[in-house]
Amino acid sequence: MKPDLLRVAVMASGSGTNLQSILDRCRDGRLKAVVCVVISNNSDSYALERARREGVETVHWSEKKAGSAKAFADGLLAILRRTGADLIVLAGYMKLVPIEVVAAYQGRILNIHPALLPKYGGKGFYGIKVHEAVLAAGDTESGATVHFVDAEYDRGPAFLQRTVPVLPGDTPDTLRERVLAVEHELLPDAIAKFAEHYQRGSNARIEMKSPNH
């Protein structure tokens, strides 16, 4: 058996509301996990402030700051190992994870995306653009997906997915808000599910092939 609390490293670039949902559930005990570090490529990211408020270690780390792609990957691995991360969660992280890190943490990196992947994923589908595309296509439902991360944007196998309706009169903003509310439940749920499998020593990636479990 591994130790009780899963150690989660969160990487975020933006406002960090998904990070907040994780921190809240860790604090109230609904999520048996601990955020061991929050890493951002953006020194102004509000996610860093949210982490500081909870007494969680923060690191501003980017390829620009590191000076090269190799130095960035090496430094990132060093942070993850020093903080004892079992799982990496990308919560609004706007950059690709270096291949060295994907290799070292295979099956242990989750990302949340505000659409029903494989639809509306990949380069260019981020932020409000995702919801604009869903509305332009006339889809009647959208949702959020937590998936395993590989070396491409939004391409790894889905882990957990939840749908929301697209309602008459929706704008990209109203749809974004409805999806974001679901994200705030889905991401902690996915971490909890990962933790169950991880503690048992089973390979969550293999067991969780189909979404909606």
Of the pair 113, 178, the CB lying nearest ligand GRF is at 113
Helix H or strand E encompassing 89: strand 87-90
Residue 113 is a catalytic residue? yes
What are the φ and ψ backbone dihedral angles of 53, each rounded to 5 degrees? -60, -30
Residues near ligand GRF (CB under 6 A) are: 12, 14-18, 91-92, 112-114, 180, 183
Of the pair 114, 188, the CB lying nearest ligand GRF is at 114
| Residue with the CB atom nearest ligand GRF in the bound state | 92
Specify whether the CB–CB gap between 68 and 45 falls below 8 A: no
- Reported as half-sphere exposure (CB side, CA atoms, 13 A), residue 159 has a value of 28
- Single out the catalytic residue among 113, 131, 147, 184: 113
Of the pair 176, 193, the CB lying nearest ligand GRF is at 176
Within 8 A by CB and 6+ apart from 181, the residues are: none
Q: Least Å distance between CB 198 and ligand GRF?
A: 22
Q: Least Å distance between CB 128 and ligand GRF?
A: 10
Q: Measured in whole angstroms, how far is the alpha carbon of residue 45 from the centre of its chain?
A: 15
Q: Least Å distance between CB 202 and ligand GRF?
A: 27
Closest CA to 10 of 25, 99, 167: 25
Task: Tell me the catalytic residues.
Answer: 113
